[in-house]
Amino acid sequence: MKSKAKPLNLEARGKDYATNILSYPSELPVAIIGLMPTLSLGELIICHEVMVREAQEQDKTVAQHISHLLIHGVLHLLGFDHELGEAEQDEMERFEIEILAGLNLPNPYL
């Protein structure tokens, strides 16, 4: 089966390669969000092939890497963006490291 990660990344981000995770934040108006009993932050799409390859390349378990990617993706859904600059990237990475530590998972950036 041919991966759809590359065309999705091209469409969503204008980047012509398969990425590990794509985040699609919800576009709900604030007035609607206040009326909802639960909140849909959006959607995450993980490219299994890229995620497994990266885990191997980075000498991590698949469970460690997918945990990191899910946290990374949820932070994007919450509005964090590491491509806005170094300060934003550092802030996002600090949150990822702290959340992973709370799950007894190692720092993914070491």
Top mean-pLDDT range of 41-45, 46-50, 75-79, 99-103: 99-103
Domain ranges of the chain: 5-102
Give the integer Cα–Cα distance in Å for 59 and 53: 10
Tokens for 49, please give them.
């092939």
Identify which of 1, 51, 42 has the alpha carbon closest to the alpha carbon of residue 21.
51
End-to-end CA distance of the chain: 34
Burial class (CB in 10 A: 0-12, 13-18, 19+), 102: exposed
Which residue, chain included where needed, has tokens 């398969």? 18
Q: Per-residue pLDDT tens for 19-71?
A: 777 777 777 666 766 666 676 778 888 889 999 999 999 999 999 999 999 99
pLDDT at 13: 72
5-102 CATH, one of 1.20.140.10, 3.30.930.10, 3.60.20.10, 3.40.390.30: 3.40.390.30
pTM (two decimals): 0.74
β-bridge partners, 46: 21
77 or 58, higher pLDDT: 58
Q: Per-residue pLDDT tens for 24-36?
A: 777 766 676 666 6
Mean pLDDT in the chain?
84
Q: How many percent of the chain have pLDDT more than 70?
A: 81
